[in-house]
Amino acid sequence: NMIFSTMRLLQHCFREFGMVVPKTSSPQCNGLRRGLHCAALRLQEDKDKSIPVPPSSTASPTTTFHEHYQAHPSEHDTATPAQEAAAAEEAPQPNISYVDQSGEQGEDYETEEQLQVRILNAALDFVPLHGWTVEAISAGAETLGLSAASSGMFQNGAGDLVLHFIAQSNTQLTEQLAEHHNQVQLGQAEPKKTADFLRDAVETRLRMLTPYINNWPQALSILFLPHNIPNSLKHLSTLVDDIWYYAGDRSTDLNWYTKRAALTGIYNTTELVMVQDSSEDFQDTWNFLDNRIQDIANMADATKRVTSTGEAVVQGLMGAAVTVRMLERICMFEMHRIKDYNNTLTA
């Protein structure tokens, strides 16, 4: 249990700092190894960036970074979602040298990343009108009083907007799950069954898409572009991992993989159903979600039964093999006897 919790904390820690630890027991490893190149490039780029000093007051993002920098990672688990919230808020990961300097800067300075986050947040309002495009980012920048040309800051264009939205939604979900977890621990709320918990978590997360559901296919197509796949996979795997963690999964064997794979499948298919769902309040989608979770639950039971049956079957097969071998030997023995008898008769 100790080993598991240390593993998890290390995982959170490294995810925040955008580094990759080659851990053997991580399915995120492949996505992260692909993302390693991106992370390394980003670190290099961030080192080249200058730290600006434009006077504009945004105290709260800076204080969350103080929290992020000062909170020791080995403290209780509830600190990690807050750290993740601070770290995951920005589409570009904060690099280490930036974090060092932010502690020294005054509270009324805003960094480039914070300004970019503000622009992207403002741009989300224009997504229903312009779609997930650079026009939406330009319109968002204009509401902040900046020129439309500042959308050139986002080299990935619409991809930055989509990834920012996903990171933000994931953070919101994690906060809600952490809140519920706290309440359960304080005894103020009832712990849910695993199936219900998963269902509620996926529904909450998918409901965040409702304002943008008409343009969501465009966002999905952007996420499937080759240069965006590492990032989108990373976000998806983090999301699924967090949901299972708060559902109480502490497995350390093959189940870790199967559970996350199952939930990834459920989440993706439900998202696709939601995109083409025209029923009232997406009721068809939630019914679909219920059925899929039920399938997984049934399969889990069946798997248990199959495992025990399987063992029995294997043993039966081995017994059969032994029997067959013995029968073979008996036959051979009999044949030798008959031959000898014939020989004695003829001889």
151 binds another protein per the rule CB under 8 A = yes
> What is the distance between the alpha carbons of residues 235 and 122, in angstroms, rounded to a whole number?
22
How far is C-alpha 296 from the chain's CA centre? 19
- Which residue among 2, 22, 76, 149 contacts another protein (CB under 8 A)? 149
- Which residue among 105, 150, 204, 218 contacts another protein (CB under 8 A)? 150
Q: Which two tokens stand for residue 233?
A: 């996979």
Q: What is the phi-psi region of residue 280: left when phi exceeds 0, alpha when psi lies from -120 to 50, beta otherwise?
A: beta
99 binds another protein per the rule CB under 8 A = no
For the chain, the helix, strand and coil percentages under 3-state DSSP, each to the nearest 5: 75, 0, 25
C-beta of residue 309 within 8 angstroms of C-beta of residue 303? no
44 binds another protein per the rule CB under 8 A = no
52 binds another protein per the rule CB under 8 A = yes
Q: Which two tokens stand for residue 98?
A: 């930036």
147 binds another protein per the rule CB under 8 A = yes
> What is the distance between the alpha carbons of residues 167 and 152, in angstroms, rounded to a whole number?
21
> What is the distance between the alpha carbons of residues 74 and 190, in angstroms, rounded to a whole number?
28
Instruction: Specify the stretch interacting with another protein by CB under 8 A; choose among 133-141, 187-195, 196-204, 289-297.
Output: 133-141
- Which residue among 21, 25, 54, 196 contacts another protein (CB under 8 A)? 54
Instruction: Specify the stretch interacting with another protein by CB under 8 A; choose among 27-35, 49-57, 169-177, 269-277.
Output: 49-57
Instruction: Specify the stretch interacting with another protein by CB under 8 A; choose among 30-38, 48-56, 255-263, 278-286.
Output: 48-56
175 binds another protein per the rule CB under 8 A = no
Instruction: Specify the stretch interacting with another protein by CB under 8 A; choose among 42-50, 68-76, 120-128, 200-208.
Output: 42-50
Shortest Cβ distance from residue 92 to another protein (Å)?
Answer: 11
Q: Return the C-alpha torsion angle 40, 44, 47, 50, nearest 10.
A: -120
134 binds another protein per the rule CB under 8 A = yes
Smaller CB separation from another protein, 46 or 277: 46
264 binds another protein per the rule CB under 8 A = no
Smaller CB separation from another protein, 146 or 220: 146
Shortest Cβ distance from residue 54 to another protein (Å)?
Answer: 6
C-beta of residue 313 within 8 angstroms of C-beta of residue 283? no
102 binds another protein per the rule CB under 8 A = no
Q: Across the strands, what pairs with 55?
A: 109
- 3-class DSSP state of 171: helix
